[in-house]
Amino acid sequence: MRFLRLELDHHLPIAETLARFQADPCLLLLDSAARHRERDARYSVLTADPVALHRLDHASYSSSPFSPLRIWQQHLAELAPDAPADLPPFAGGIAGLMSYELGEAFERLPRPTQADFQTPALLAGLFDWAIVWDHLAGTVTAWVLDLPSAVSRPLSATDRLNWIRQRLAQPPVPSDVAPTAAAVTSPFHPSGFRHQIDPTTAVYSDFSRDEYVATVARVIEYIRAGDIFQANLSQRLSAPWDGTAIELYQRVRQRNPAPFCGLLQHEDVAIVSASPERFLKVNRHGHVETRPIKGTRRRQASPIADLFVGNELAGSEKDRAENVMIVDLLRNDLSRACQAGSVRVTGLCELERFETVLHLVSTVVGQLRPDRDVWHLMAGCFPGGSITGAPKIRAMQIIAELERSIRGAYCGSLFACGPLGDFDSSILIRTFTLRDGWVQFPVGGGIVADSDPLDEYRETLHKASGMIRVLR
């Protein structure tokens, strides 16, 4: 199998290019909008119009726990390309969304009954092309994957390359005629439209402040009873939004850039994310990396105050203990698919600065076993430990009991797997889900035995501050 490539203008703007493809089905942008770490954020990729698309809703799981991912395992085995040396990790391949509730396909878990945003558990496609921005090399290249004859495709590789040329030559489709899940099409109101978090903004929570504080206290009771060591509790924020998903993404990219920004738009689904957190990365040689975030402080306007807050976070025993707890959980999760003795911690509680917050970030690595692939790894690790708790399954049961609606895309993952097996994925925090003139964007934090419930509530609002500014 071969690749076609087209070198593009190295100054091609990402936002403008996105607008030229906004009318196409399953539009996907994985965007390194903030390149504070070269290894996290070298590439941005844009693709759409997959040759195959699979959508799995929550009620349609098979009795086989691995079945939701088996189709992608088969597709990846069919590709087996003869690749050029400079092929980027994703130049076409398999990409899409795994919602938090896809975890129910791998473990027996309850869940909240409220599911008004109706995000699919899995929405992913096989894509035969991508435009790739290499921020390190300073290049922009369109790649087309000449798929094997066994894969049905609407366009030949040559026709697809011409299709890309034509799209780039045309003016962008006006946003008011492009399909979007954000368009107001029904008198939909999300559940929990009750608690306005701030009198100056039309943002609502499904918890009042007192209710959230009491729910944090309930988590602490579970911890003291010995059920868990930690659980990640969230409240769901909602706000009206009368623009398109692409308009919202352009605001996010400008005002709250992050190394794992992303947009997915297909029919009734639209996801806009400004995530700072990597979930799982696997290179073509089977090297695995995960980078959990635990520990957050709000950025300060004064450089001296910002430095002080960063030093306080780096020295916080509570935050470091919370981070180490999740590192241990992820070491165990990675060990399910990695070679014995290969899983190790290469960075622990490192302070990193983002646009609106400071975080403690750790790095855990491993090496895949020869009889395991990225899909086995994902099935054993999903959803990420940093947004569930420890022990994971009991923490997820408590989350389902105490939270008032399903999480959907929040705490799930946007992912991409290239034809050589290169895989990367984000944890969908700082993420909007759009539907019928509304957006939802849950925010949460890890609760441990010595958590202060009111401080935990305030931390969720700190995490939401950049997102609320985008909506304003």
Q: Give catalytic residues, as residue numbers.
A: 277, 294
DSSP E strand boundaries for 40-90: 43-47, 52-56
Burial class (CB in 10 A: 0-12, 13-18, 19+), 411: buried
- C-alpha distances out from residue 17 to 31, 34, 250, 434, Å: 12, 18, 12, 21
Question: Which strand (E) or helix (H) includes residue 196?
Answer: strand 195-196
What is d(CA 226, CA 97) in angstroms, rounded to the nearest whole number? 34
Q: CA-CA distance, 259 to 193, in Å (whole number)? A: 32
Q: Which two tokens stand for residue 139?
A: 């290049």
Dihedral of CA atoms 209, 211, 212, 217 in degrees, nearest 10, equals: 130
Is residue 36 helix, strand or coil? coil
In which element (H, E) is residue 395 found? helix 392-402
Of 6, 114, 96, nearest to 53 by C-alpha is 96
3-state secondary structure 91-139: CCEEEEEECHHHHHHCCCCCCCCCCCCCCCCEEEEEECEEEEEECCCCE
